[in-house]
Amino acid sequence: MDFQDNPVRRARGRPRAFDARTEQNTIKSLDRALMVLDELSHMESASLSELAQGLEESPATVYRILSTFALHGVVEVDAAQQTWHIGADAFRIGSAFLRRTSLVERSRAVLRGLMKTTGETANLGVEKDGAVLFVSQVETHAPIRAFFPPGTLSPLHASGIGKVLLAHAPAGRLEQVAAKGLESFTPHTLADLGRLRADLDLIRARGHAVDDQERNLGMRCIAAPIRNVHGEVVAGISVSGPTSRVSPDHVPDLARAVIAAAAEVSAAIGAPGG
Q: What is the mean pLDDT of the chain?
A: 88
pLDDT in tens, 10-68: 455 555 554 555 566 678 899 999 999 989 988 878 999 999 999 999 999 999 999 99
Please give the average per-residue pLDDT across 125-146, as a whole number.
87
Q: Which residues contact 14 (CB under 8 A, 6 or more apart)?
A: none
Q: With 70 as the cut, is the pLDDT of residue 89 above it?
A: yes
Fold (topology level) of 22-98 = Arc Repressor Mutant, subunit A (1.10.10)
Please give the average per-residue pLDDT across 69-96, as a whole number.
89
Q: How far apart, in whole angstroms, are the C-alpha atoms of residue 266 and residue 228?
A: 6
- pLDDT computed for residue 100 by the predictor: 58
Q: How far apart, in whole angstroms, are the C-alpha atoms of residue 119 and residue 145?
A: 10
Cα separations in angstroms, 210 against 113, 163, 174, 184: 20, 8, 18, 17
Question: Would the CATH topology of 22-98 be identical to that of 101-268?
Answer: no
Q: With 90 as the cut, is the pLDDT of residue 83 above it?
A: yes
Please give the average per-residue pLDDT across 118-130, as a whole number.
92
Q: Phi/psi of residue 119, each to 5°?
A: 80, 10
- pLDDT computed for residue 17 by the predictor: 52
Q: Which residues contact 243 (CB under 8 A, 6 or more apart)?
A: 213, 218, 219, 220
Q: Please state which architecture CATH assigns to domain 101-268.
A: 2-Layer Sandwich (3.30)
Please state the domain extents for the chain: 22-98, 101-268
Residue type, 139: E
pLDDT in tens, 199-249: 999 999 999 999 999 999 999 999 999 999 899 999 999 999 999 999 999
- pLDDT computed for residue 1 by the predictor: 38
pTM: 0.68
- pLDDT computed for residue 74 by the predictor: 93
- pLDDT computed for residue 21 by the predictor: 54
Residue 39's CB is within 10 A of a number of other CB atoms, namely: 17
Q: With 80 as the cut, is the pLDDT of residue 4 above it?
A: no
- pLDDT computed for residue 270 by the predictor: 87
